[in-house]
Amino acid sequence: MNILNASFASKRSVKSSEDDFSNNGIGIVHFGTGAFHRAHQAVYTHDVLAKNGGDWRILGVSLQSTQVADDLNGQDGVYTLAIRQENGLDLQLIKSIASVEAAVRSKTNIFRTLASSDTHIVSMTVTEKAYGIQRETGKIDTSHPAIAHDLENPEDPSGIIGMIVLGLKLRKEQGVKPFTVLCCDNLPQNGDLVKQGVLDFAMAIDEEQLADWIGAEGAFPNSMVDRITPATTRDLVEEVSQALGVKDRVPIETEPFSQWVIEDDFVTLRPEWEEAGALFVSLVEPYEHMKLRMLNGTHSLIAYMGFCSGHKYVRDVMADEKLLPLIKNHIKAAAQTLKPLEEIVFDEYAAQLIERFKNPNIAHETYQIAMDGSQKMPQRIFQPAVDALNKGLPFEPFALATAAWIYYCRGNHDNNAEYALRDPRETELLNAFKSGKTNARAIIQAFHELPDLIPGELAKSAEWLKAVETGLADFLQH
Ligand code: CS2
């Protein structure tokens, strides 16, 4: 038996395998076919294909690994979505991914599809660190490895910005309208940021006319994406394969909750994702601030405090009576920095978040969330802290989260066993911690002096520095 015609042997199942999209064409190229995409956009797209049909299948692109391409292609792009409900596991076969290209092997089909007038959308979940765009200026960071490579080799790019620019250039040359660039990473004003980076890159390779054309005709909608998706484990592969009666190498487990808010600004066609539950709005920023600050900011606090206290999963941190009040404080302080959103009562959103974090069926590792702190802390913790200080609101929870992150950056457990920070700025962070030895003030000073990380407003605030120092001194002592 093959996964395409698998039927579920046990447990509850939401949908079996009747859907067949093999005749639907490709309309989307998606960079980063990891767990999050497969629990989110690919599912919305599957649902729209099932409802309305259309040429909206996805060509996945993996920028670095070949594994996910091999695994998914070996199953005709089909995989199982396992939704952990309170009363069991819902399984659904997702069939919106046509196939996946590993860019390190060949880019021929990737650029053919990027240039094709049938492709309307290029979306991406490549994580915060992949872009190489400076937040403050929107300019490309020429020291970023992918940007540096692509500036030298604009006709054979390997990074996300270089590939988008070459894809758009091919379209311009062939008289095809630009595709819409839909960023689905947890970055503030993600669409605007990518647009600035793309335009700056085009200028940097002397493609002024291309930049003008993209600026005038392109579209880069902002979007807020949300679904808690732990990395796939061997246990999940076993559990799903058993329920399916056939091996699925790449199932995804996720929570029941899912949210997608998208700015309705597309060059040409788009799938009717609203029919699968997405919300199209004219302004995404308030939703994005809410999510980045209340969910992701709290997640980072949970991750650093939890990991350093020996908790493996988010749910374990939530069950720790000493830590839970600190987590609740953080969510509240984050909510206070937000502009009101008519559609959402922040207290209700907060209560829902607590339940989502507590979900006993989701094994979300604190170490997974702790990764890439230097790329996540600015929008999750530092910017809300600046707003809180400016508005005279409680800022201490953000100082505590900062202290917890700095403490994590020491890179070893209390028993001296080392762990990798898993951060592109790992060496700088470890050195900053070491430079202060065991002196909280000196360590904090070193972190605040790192370039392009903690905003100057915070580094200059005595009350902020004091609060972070108190938090860190406490961690160092206990
Ligand atoms: C998490 C996010 O790993 C992390 O940094 O905070 O991946 C989080 O689970 C998602 O944004 C939820 O939508």
Q: For the domain made up of 3-281, give the CATH fold.
A: Rossmann fold (3.40.50)
Domain boundaries, the chain: 3-281, 285-477
pLDDT in tens, 362-419: 999 999 999 999 999 999 999 999 999 999 999 999 999 999 999 999 999 988 899 9
Per-residue pLDDT tens for 326-339?
Answer: 999 999 999 999 99
30 lines ligand 1 (CB under 6 A): no
Which two tokens mark 235? 């246990």
Which pLDDT score is estimated for 135? Answer: 85
Best mutation site among 127, 186, 368 for ligand 1 pocket (most ligand atoms within 8 Å of CB): 186
Alpha-carbon distance of 96 to 47, in angstroms, equals 9
Strands 88-94 and 180-183: unpaired
* pLDDT over 90, % of the chain: 92
Q: Are the C-beta atoms of residues 331 and 294 closer than 8 Å to each other?
A: yes
Cα distance between residue 178 and residue 219, in whole Å: 8
Greater confidence (5 vs 234) lies with 234
Distance CA 304, CA 288 (A): 22
CB atoms within 10 A of CB 109: 12
Ligand 1, atom nearest to 296 Cα: 6
Ligand 1 atom 3: the closest Cα is on which residue?
369
- Model confidence at 1: pLDDT above 60: no
Which residue in the block uniquely carries the two structure tokens 């990027």?
114
0.85 cut: is pTM over it?
yes
Sheet containing 252-254, strands listed edge to edge, beginning at the edge strand earlier in sequence: 13-15, 88-94, 79-85, 252-254
- The model's confidence at residue 457, banded by pLDDT at 50, 70 and 90, is very high
CATH topology of domain 285-477: N-(1-d-carboxylethyl)-l-norvaline Dehydrogenase; domain 2 (1.10.1040)
Q: Does residue 253 line the site of ligand 1, with CB under 6 A?
A: no
Kindly state the average pLDDT of the residues 243-264.
96
Task: Please compute the mean of the pLDDT values over residues 50-79 and round it to a whole number.
Answer: 97
